[in-house]
Structure 1
Amino acid sequence: MNQKSITSLKENTILQKKHHKRKIDIAIYLMTIPAVVLFAAFHTFPVLKGIYYSFTNWDGLSLDYKFVGLRNYLNLIGDKNVWNSYIFTFKFALVSTILVNIISLLLAMGLNTKIKFKNFFRAVYFLPNVLSILIVGFIFNYIFAYVIPALGTKLGIELLKSNILGNQKFAWIGVVIVAVWQASALNTILYLSGLQTVPEELYEAASLDGANKFQEFWNVTFPVIAPFFTINMVLAMKNFLMVFDHVMSLTSGGPGRATESISLLIYRSGFAGGEFAYQSANSVIYFMFIIIISVFQIKFLQKREMDM
């Protein structure tokens, strides 16, 4: 076989490989089409329709509606119920995010030590994440309404004698307790995964340098698990800002409107209150707030990771 034949054979082989790769690429793209179509049909299209309706006065039922421009958005500024829902939601999300990350990190550090039945405790701590939010809400509703007041009466503790969910001033604390209890499950597992990536040699070096437990955590453990901290903070804040099920099952937004979250307000007023277009505008603002806060968190926390 001469040199020309060898060169021709190599070129044919290269062309065949490129053709085969092109076929694989086309097949991959074709496989993604069903997912893209479903995502567009059930997510992208409804979002775009919601933005479109936010500039109208549609009530969600009638066939007739007209464009009103930015009127819905301007009316949101002076709506007391909207302001109350935003204040409650941001207060709830901020407190819950801080608490769930502190508790989850402490639990994860405890589970990461050499204790007996460690795998059993991991399963127990993860159990709340498996339970339905509505079921958890109904159970805690019973506990707050009957068990704790009965216990408070028996022990003579005045603070525990009444149902906290019926107190307009403190009902939000009851929602925080339940939400943090359930959310801590997943966050604990994530932190535990992060703690297992910390090399043991770093702890030995810190111990030789005479570092105490706090210095060991702040200078060794936390810098390594900083990416996990970023993930947990962003996910927790996003999920708590979107709170709906916990409020619905515990207080239904009450007493009065003391625990009415933004999601609950949009659902009630938009679908049952004939304010579909108005609450669509509220949804757009709500979505923008979540995006802005999430982006700010990511940028701030990732910058902190680099500085550590």
Structure 2
Amino acid sequence: MNNESKLDTVKGAALTNQKSTKVSHSVSFLNKKKWKEAGLFTLFVGPVLLAFILIVLIPFFTGIYYAFTDWNGVTGSVKWVGLDNFKYLFTEDKQFQTSFILTTKYTVVAIILTNLIGFGLALLVAQKLKTKNVLRTVFFMPNLIGGLILGFIWQFIFVKGFASIGQLTGISVFELAWLGDSKTAFWGIVIVSVWQGAGYIMIIYIAALQNVPQELIEAARIDGANRFQVLRHITMPLVAPAVTICLFLTTASSFKVFDANLSLTNGGPFKSTEMLALNIYTEAFVNNRYGIGEAKALIFFIVVAAITVLQVTISKKKEVES
């Protein structure tokens, strides 16, 4: 009996050692797998994260620091002035306030027109037309041209092209000083920006329209619904997520308009069309008041972020309700 019990004890110890060895091997394998996954994750994400930190985060937080200084952007001397820059903006800098109001007005107009025209173009090219692919290319093409180049092209059209058409036809619209008057210059910037952005918004709406079930539309038409009723009660609720995206994109891009403003009017005449982004650029790099320019940019960032978050929140709620 003693020999048998000893033998059982030895066998049990051997089995225990085998189990512990297997467990240790499995743990080691899992650790190696985790380290391998972590290494691959670092390999793919690391360079992008490093670039994001160097290009976005560090300049962002550095800009916040300079917003509270009087740095001119050139010399090495930086003096902390606290909230003096912000007090100056809200009490003395009338041009900043004017540019802010003008940018808000421009943003509202550009958002409405860009989305309406983009959605209208999407409805057009979503039809069974032989030339729909050609039309998509033509409508999207302005978005491929750089903003500055596009602005200079339209500057030539407004100044030379419209004047020639006005002389030949006598139509008063073409005889206006489009970039020489504050009212028409504002609408000139709107025309160029909407013409450029509507094609991109059109692509998003096309993708949404293609996901609308045709069975629902056919059933509604059989029940006697006209095109407007189908559009209002079926198509619009189903493309609501695309509307949210397009409103977000157009809000952000409209508030940050710079290239069209610079190339078309450069803020003229007499700074009457100077949008906020151009005002910030002029303050920081032309007037060499980098601290005040960063203070304007910080206020600009907070306002745009708050408006976009509010817009996305409201749009998402409406998606759920519909």
TM-score by length of 1: 0.94
Deviations along 1:154-199, one digit per CA (max 9) or x if unpaired, are: 2222332132111122211000000000001110011000000001
| SS of structure 1 residue aligned to 2:257 | coil
Q: What residue is the counterpart of 2:171 in the other structure?
A: 157
For the pair 1:54 / 2:67, whether they are aligned, the reply is yes
> Which residue of structure 2 lines up, in the alignment, with residue 73 of structure 1?
86
- 2: CA distance, partners of 1:30 / 1:198: 40
What is the rounded CA distance, in whole Å, between the counterparts of 1:12 and 1:113 in structure 2? 64
CA-to-aligned-CA distance 1:116-166 (integer Å, 9 cap, x gap): 122122111111111111111111101100111221232222332132111
Equivalent of 2:237, from 201, 223, 229? 223
Residue 88 of structure 1, aligned match among 98, 102, 107: 102
Of 173, 178, 184, 2:192 maps to: 178
Which is further off, 58-67 or 111-120?
A: 58-67
Q: Distance in 2 between matches of 1:20 and 1:205?
A: 58
Which residue does 2:33 correspond to in 1?
21
Distance in 2, matches of 1:94 and 1:28, equals 45
Question: Displacement of 1:20 after TM fit?
Answer: 3.9
What amino acid maps onto 1:26 in structure 2? A
The match for 2:205 is 191
Name which of structure 1's ranges 237-246 and 22-31 shifts more when overlaid on structure 2.
22-31
The share of aligned pairs that are identical, in percent, is 36
Q: Which residue of 2 aligns with 1:235?
A: 249
Residue 33 of structure 1: how far off its partner (Å)? 2.3
Q: Are 2:313 and 1:303 equivalent residues in the alignment?
A: no
**Structure 1 residue 107 and structure 2 residue 118: aligned?**
no
Structure 1 position 67, deviation (Å): 1.3
Distance, in Å, in 2 between the alignment partners of 1:233 and 1:222 is 14
Whichever residue aligns with residue 86 of structure 2, its letter is Y
Q: Any idea what SS the aligned residue of 1:249 has?
A: helix
CA RMSD of aligned residues (A): 1.9
Letter in 2 for 1:264: L
Partner AA of 1:52 in structure 2: Y
Q: Quick check: 93-102 or 22-31, which moved more?
A: 22-31
How far apart are the structure 2 equivalents of 1:11 and 1:205?
62
Equivalent positions of 1:228-267 (< 5 A) are 228-267=242-281
Report the count of equivalent residues. Answer: 307
Post-superposition offset of 1:87: 1.3
Q: Which amino acid in 1 is paired with 2:40?
A: I
How many angstroms does 1:16 deviate by? 5.2
The residue number in structure 1 matching 2:297 is 283
Report deviation, 1:215.
Answer: 0.9
Query: Post-superposition shift, 1:44?
Result: 0.8
Question: 2 CA distance for matches of 1:236 and 1:135?
Answer: 20
Task: Tell me how far apart the structure 2 counterparts of residues 176 and 257 of structure 1 sit (CA, whole Å).
Answer: 16
Q: Measure how far apart 1:71 and its partner are.
A: 0.7
| TM-score, scaled relative to structure 2 | 0.90
Q: Structure 2: which 5+ runs fail to align? A: 1-13
Q: 1:11 offset after TM fit, Å?
A: 4.2
